[in-house]
Amino acid sequence: MELDTDIIIIGAGMSGLGLAVQLVRQYGHRSFELIEKADNIGGTWLANTYPGCGVDVVAHYYSYSFALNPNWSRKYPLQPEILEYFNNVAAKYKIHEHARFNTIVESARWESSTGTWLVNIKNLKTSKTYRRRCKILVSAVGILSKPNGCDIQGASSFQGDIFHTAEWDHSFDWKEKELVVIGNGCSASQAVPVLSEGDGAVKKVTQFARQAQWVFERPNPEYSGFFKKIMKWVPFAMRAYRAMWNYYAEVDFLSFPTIEGAGMRKMYADYQGAYIRRISPTKYHEFLVPKTEVGCKRRVMDTDYLDCLNRDNVELIHSDPIDKIVEHGVRTKSGRFVKADAIILANGFQVLKPLLTLNLIGEGGISVAEHWDKFSDGSASSYFGTCLSGFPNFFIMMGPNTASGHGSVTYVTECQINFTLRVIKPILNALKAQRSALPVLGRKADVVRVKPDAEKADIEDVHEKLKSLVWSSGCSSWALDPVSGRNTTMYPDFQYRYWLRSIFVRWKDFEFTKSGTYDEGRSKKPFKVGSWLVASTSVAAAAVWLYQASSGKAIW
């Protein structure tokens, strides 16, 4: 069966890019395509361009292990620098030429008779659809790719602009405008300080928040030229610096067990609670210091957010929520009217939806939603956050229960990439064997399936461990499925244990087979005279080279 490409990767963000690069670096394999809805590589760092957008993990720890960067400007860089980093990595390995921008996957179906995926793709600019056949399909759409909308009554009547931080309208000039910001998570805490400072500041920003967040102190020093030179020229300096932050992150996981981590969480609560009280206005203290356990919700790193609450043009409303949106602002439950020229949504993402929007159909005509109904009460789940039984040759980057509350998302992504590369190696061997006249060493099978029992056991193990961790202590969180209450997002262990599983693959959990077309292709492929000539000439040349080298004679 003729393939259009060996591998289709859906998404060109951090995980999709990382997989593409590692296919080139480790296997020298370039028969792949990246299907990307945006017009460039970058994923969340291309989409999120709101004021103040930056990373909350130390840059040297956030970067790829195979593409370390000694020139980070500061400890926690802003979005333009991070996007530039990913584009530089893509350019180095010539990944752009494999990308199909402004395109989306509308659906994909597994064809058992050929052992291939038939993928329906739509060009967003021309609205034309076309089909591509591939052997391996990878979802790298991520969990922060689909912003939540505005479901507040009256939104359609608003005369100003309404947009999400992940869809920032750069044509909007906020100077001397009155803004309403809905939400108080990471993006809101980064944007509000920038919007409210300096000569170009808003006239007023009114922020609505429902629940308090643990805001952690986070200095953000610039790196000196001397430090950058050490990172660049001293052997293993960058590796050591990265390892240090990895160690600190792993130690932090000790605070997550509900019982054993109580002492550590109290230490955090005492210190960060005092920090919140010291920096923020007294009138907000009762709300700003959370009553929930540290770590139960995602922590917010302070980017001058607490201090900006002291400004005259910033107001935080936490006890009088929005009742409805009206033509020129919002009206609260108490009847108060808050004028707004624009409403900024900082209300998170649909973390459960991206995979479902791909409309994947596996063996027996089963959809992903039907699979989840059977395996996890309708909630998102998977084997190792990466595989679904009944969906052969399909892999998920940043799938269910892979996010970490203490480490770097890049670390997890690389673990999944390395795991996937190991599992698909027999498939790549099989494809190579079909195309090569020379023998190909190693296992060869063009279809791989995770066994249903293995998937079920892995899901149950993850959720059993989650029961004893802080996310199950009673707070509401985006990590929890609102219907089933299951934690579909967080990984319940140290990250190094996830890494170990990516190295020591449980091969007994997988079934490798050969499709009918693969067997037919091998049996009917003629071994042509030209192939014999190339092979024999190569062997003869190698023999002459070895003889001359051993005899000390000049080599050509």
60-104 tens-digit pLDDT: 999 999 999 999 999 999 999 999 999 999 999 999 999 999 999
DSSP state of 143: S
Per-residue pLDDT, 542: 56
How far is Cα 407 from Cα 409, in angstroms, rounded to an integer? Answer: 7
Per-residue pLDDT, 538: 53
Q: Is 337 exposed, middle or buried (0-12, 13-18, 19+ CB in 10 A)?
A: exposed
Mean pLDDT of 240-261: 96
Q: Going by DSSP bridges, is the β-strand pair 342-345/178-182 parallel, antiparallel, or unpaired?
A: parallel
How far is Cα 103 from Cα 124, in angstroms, rounded to an integer? Answer: 5
Question: Is 50 exceeded by the pLDDT of residue 521?
Answer: no
How far is Cα 133 from Cα 119, in angstroms, rounded to an integer? Answer: 6
Q: Tell me which of 480 and 212 has the higher pLDDT.
A: 212
Helices (H), 28-130: 44-47, 59-62, 79-92
How far is Cα 368 from Cα 361, in angstroms, rounded to an integer? Answer: 7
Question: Is 80 exceeded by the pLDDT of residue 520?
Answer: no
Task: Please list, residue by residue across 168-202, b when 16 or more beta carbons sit within 10 angstroms of its beta carbon and e when fewer do.
Answer: beeeeebeebbbbbbbbbbbbbbbbbbbbbeeebb
CA 213, 218, 222, 228 dihedral sign is negative
Q: Tell me which of 532 and 263 has the higher pLDDT.
A: 263
Q: Which residue has the tokens 């791909």?
A: 358
Structure tokens belonging to residue 462? 């993850």
Name the packing angle between helices 237-252 and 225-233 (round to 10°). 100
Q: Are 437 and 456 in contact (CB under 8 A)?
A: no
Q: Are 343 and 180 in contact (CB under 8 A)?
A: yes
Question: Is 70 exceeded by the pLDDT of residue 529?
Answer: no
Mean pLDDT of 405-434: 95
* Half-sphere CA count of 250, side-chain side, radius 13 A: 15
How far is Cα 73 from Cα 75, in angstroms, rounded to an integer? Answer: 7
How far is Cα 117 from Cα 106, in angstroms, rounded to an integer? Answer: 13
23-32, 203-212, 363-372, 429-438: which has the minimum mean pLDDT? 429-438
Q: Going by DSSP bridges, is the β-strand pair 329-332/322-326 parallel, antiparallel, or unpaired?
A: antiparallel
Per-residue pLDDT, 495: 96
What radius of gyration, in Å, describes the C-alpha atoms of the chain?
A: 26
Per-residue pLDDT, 352: 64
DSSP state of 221: P
How far is Cα 526 from Cα 28, in angstroms, rounded to an integer? Answer: 26
Per-residue pLDDT, 540: 57
Per-residue pLDDT, 490: 92
pLDDT, one tens digit per residue, over 459-515 is 999 999 999 999 987 777 777 877 788 899 999 999 999 999 999 999 999 999 999
Name the packing angle between helices 516-524 and 409-435 (round to 10°). 40
Three-state secondary-structure class, residue 264: helix
Which of these, 75, 76, 282, 48, lies nearest to 185 by C-alpha position? 48
pLDDT, one tens digit per residue, over 105-154 is 999 999 999 999 999 999 999 999 999 999 999 999 977 767 888 889 99
Three-class SS of 161-207: EEEEHHHCCCCCCCCCCEEEEECCCHHHHHHHHHHCCCCCCCCEEEE
Mean pLDDT of 423-442: 93
Per-residue pLDDT, 81: 98
Which of these, 389, 391, 386, 387, lies nearest to 402 by C-alpha position? 386
Q: Which residue has the tokens 């530039």?
A: 84
* Half-sphere CA count of 467, side-chain side, radius 13 A: 6
177-186, 412-421, 481-490: which has the minimum mean pLDDT? 481-490
Per-residue pLDDT, 556: 40
How far is Cα 525 from Cα 509, in angstroms, rounded to an integer? Answer: 32
Question: Is 80 exceeded by the pLDDT of residue 532?
Answer: no
Three-state secondary-structure class, residue 411: helix
Which of these, 454, 427, 419, 464, lies nearest to 443 by C-alpha position? 427
**Count of all residues that appear for the chain in the document:** 556
Per-residue pLDDT, 526: 47
Question: Is 70 exceeded by the pLDDT of residue 353?
Answer: no
CA 326 vs. chain centroid, Å, equals 36
Strand order in the sheet with 314-317: 161-164, 342-345, 178-182, 204-208, 314-317
Determine what percent of the chain is predicted with pLDDT higher than 90. Answer: 82
pLDDT band at 527 (very low <50, low <70, confident <90, very high): very low
Which of these, 50, 341, 347, lies nearest to 204 by C-alpha position? 341
Per-residue pLDDT, 534: 46
Q: Percent helix, strand and coil across the chain, each rounded to 5?
A: 40, 20, 45
Residue 99 pairs in a beta bridge with 34
How far is Cα 140 from Cα 532, in angstroms, rounded to an integer? Answer: 42
